Amino acid sequence: MKILPVLLLPLFCLTTPVCAQAPVTVPLPVLFPVQQTVYMSPAGSDTATGDSLNPVATFTGAMNRLAAWSAGQQGELYTEVVLFSGYYTSPLVQPWGQFQLPGRQLNVSVRGKGTVMLDGVNATISSGQGMVHLLGSHIRVANLNILYSPGNGVRFGYDANGNVSNPHDVLVEDVTVRQTAGHGILLGINPIKNSDPFSLHPPGERYAVRNCTVSEAVNFNQPQPQWGSAVKFHNVRYGLAENCHIHDNSGEGIDVDLGEQIIIRANTLHDNYANIYIDKGVGIRIEGNHIHNDYRKVPGILLGIEAFTGLLTDHYIKDVAIQNNIILNTTTGISLWQGIYSFLQKGIFSGIDIRHNTIIGQRGQKAAIGFSYETFLGNPVPNVVFSDLRIYGNILSAHPDSLNNGRLLTSPLNPQPGLQASYNMWNLPPGPGFNQSTDQSNPQLPDRAPATDTLSFRPGQANPAFLFAVPASADIPDDLLGMARNIPHTNAGALEAAASSSSDEREVSVRIYPNPATSQLRVSGLPDGPAFYKIVSADGKIAQSGTTCYYENESNIPLILEQSGIYLLILHSSGGYKTVCFQFINN
């Protein structure tokens, strides 16, 4: 174990968590109405007025217009810069002097209108800044394409020269980030204050990243060792990463570094350094994600602890729910790692619930689920604590040649301390964690995942090996696709068995139009209220998901699909569920 310097200070509760469970929902960012808008265009002029007919040319020009508009006003002001379609080569960086103004603060949202490209290949920003680097709260960044940032792609948070901005209530959606030297989307700041290493910043609150794509972020064309993340929640309470495509990044895919009450849901991740990494987290839900590797030998989900301070304190991986995920062709599907911290600090792994996941195909002599920690006299070393670990209702399979000693579940100790395992189906005896009374070993399960689509792993007549009925859990009413699970027994793994004729009666009549569709679907037929939806492509991959709200039995679903083709819309609400095919045309 790496030894860190330890300062013996009265900070024993430095990271002691609030009693929490993995959240089903989290508070979303609160956005306030825009009071002033300035428009930008590559064909604009900074001498223009900045309205929609007379746009400015640069973000500096836009900030100057907003500063002039706010002269003499007091308090928090909420503004927006709208970028017309075009190609921009300067970063959108909000200088401190135009944010922390005497008696007033400018909170600036940024939104693209049409196709907007921010190209940073010749931009001059520090490594800690981003091509979009804003300092305000209650704001939105939307509909931008960011390429070749010499720093980060999108950045929120500032702590330098005695000035601190720790924003909250920030929504980042429909943003594409590619080929950055730094993080793709970085939200939050280091917990330790630059001005005082013995004091901590409070966490930033209510961050959401939705419908974003991040690829080739971190060290693009840089000869540096691995570091950084495609999407990172750093010292954040209440965070959401939903319906994003995160792939081929040199850092972690989605990273939570000292987070509390975070949901990572319905994302597609592949070929990242670690696809999802929880580094110190309390109250984390990881559900409905499709994780696979096409070529890299990297983990699917990694839970570990890396100390952010040498102060004497405890660090936690606590109340983590990992449910309804498909994890394919990883080194370790789900890995619990002791991490790096001093022998005077304690790492506590508690309340980790691994249920209803489908984990197929391992690479690199690892395991489907693996524990990694040091031992002493037949126990974990004294500063590593395991308790209340649950592995239930999963389907796990791999070829023995791809496993560590042919074991699907590995740990330094057998039995693994704190572990309860039951109702899992394995293709071969897993090692520690096999429950003789409830588990099943089925050698007919495929031991590799040549296809990375979702529907290939749906139990039914086409996939009889995946059929394994287990007692249903009241808190997991749906499967990965949003289909209602059968009661009182459901299928193990992330997907419910294909519906029988008797369960078809639960469906309701739904009409969608237009069909073919180009920008949105209008859906009628479900009762008023919220509904969950997923859109699945013809190859079985989740292309879009989210929630929609019905009013007078009708709802609109904006389409953010990239490829034309035939799609399956899966709707689920209190009134029932329905699957409907439609055609999408990308024009």
Domain shared by 255 and 323, yes or no: no
Q: For the chain, give the mean pLDDT.
A: 89
pLDDT the model gives residue 508: 54
pLDDT the model gives residue 537: 83
Q: With respect to residue 503, please indicate whether it lies within any of the assigned structural domains.
A: no
Query: Taking Cα atoms as reference points, which of 326, 277, 269 lies closest to residue 294?
Result: 269
Residue 43: pLDDT above 80?
Answer: yes
Domain shared by 300 and 441, yes or no: yes
What would the pLDDT profile of 274-309 be if each residue is shown by its tens digit?
999 999 999 999 999 999 999 999 999 999 999 988
pLDDT band of 388, cuts 50, 70, 90: very high
In order of 104, 230, 249, 494, 520, the CA distances from 328 in angstroms are 51, 20, 17, 12, 32
Residue-range definition of the domain harbouring residue 89: 76-97+109-273
pLDDT the model gives residue 503: 40
Domain shared by 490 and 549, yes or no: no
Q: With respect to residue 262, please indicate whether it lies within any of the assigned structural domains.
A: yes
Dihedral-angle region of residue 280 (phi above 0 means left; psi in -120 to 50 means alpha; beta otherwise): left
- Domain end, chosen from 230, 254, 273, is at 273
Q: How many separate domains does the chain show? A: 3
Q: With respect to residue 172, please indicate whether it lies within any of the assigned structural domains.
A: yes
pLDDT the model gives residue 575: 59
The token pair that represents 292 in the structure block: 């696979």
pLDDT the model gives residue 10: 30
DSSP reduced 3-state for 70: helix
Q: Is the pTM of this model over 0.85?
A: yes
pLDDT the model gives residue 102: 80
Return the H-helix or E-strand segment holding 64: helix 59-70
Domain shared by 445 and 556, yes or no: no
Residue 188: pLDDT above 80?
Answer: yes
Domain shared by 400 and 312, yes or no: yes
For residues 351-376, average pLDDT? 95
What would the pLDDT profile of 554-580 be if each residue is shown by its tens digit?
888 889 888 898 898 888 766 566 778
Q: With respect to residue 35, please indicate whether it lies within any of the assigned structural domains.
A: no
CB 472 within 8 A of CB 485: yes
- Domain end, chosen from 498, 520, 549, is at 498
Dist CA 446 CA 359 (whole Å): 11
Domain shared by 90 and 122, yes or no: yes
DSSP assignment of 352-409 equals EEEES-EEEEEEEEEEEEEEE--EETTEE-TTEEEEEEEEES-EEE--GGGBBTTBSE
Domain shared by 443 and 515, yes or no: no
Residue 6: pLDDT above 70?
Answer: no
Domain shared by 539 and 494, yes or no: no
Domain shared by 239 and 289, yes or no: no
Q: With respect to residue 16, please indicate whether it lies within any of the assigned structural domains.
A: no
Dist CA 547 CA 531 (whole Å): 6
Over the Cα atoms of the chain, what is R_g?
24
CATH number of domain containing 564 = 2.60.40.1220
Q: With respect to residue 13, please indicate whether it lies within any of the assigned structural domains.
A: no
Domain shared by 255 and 289, yes or no: no
Q: With respect to residue 21, please indicate whether it lies within any of the assigned structural domains.
A: no
Domain shared by 238 and 351, yes or no: no
Q: With respect to residue 434, please indicate whether it lies within any of the assigned structural domains.
A: yes
* 47-56, 166-175, 563-572: range with lowest mean pLDDT: 563-572
DSSP reduced 3-state for 59: helix
pLDDT band of 185, cuts 50, 70, 90: very high
- Domain end, chosen from 498, 527, 560, is at 498
Residue 9: pLDDT above 60?
Answer: no
For residues 350-363, average pLDDT? 96
Domain shared by 362 and 486, yes or no: yes
What would the pLDDT profile of 208-259 be if each residue is shown by its tens digit?
999 999 999 998 877 787 889 999 999 999 999 998 999 999 999 999 999 9
The token pair that represents 297 in the structure block: 């030998």
Dist CA 487 CA 480 (whole Å): 16
Per-residue three-class SS string for 500-520? CCCHHHHECCCEEECCCECCE
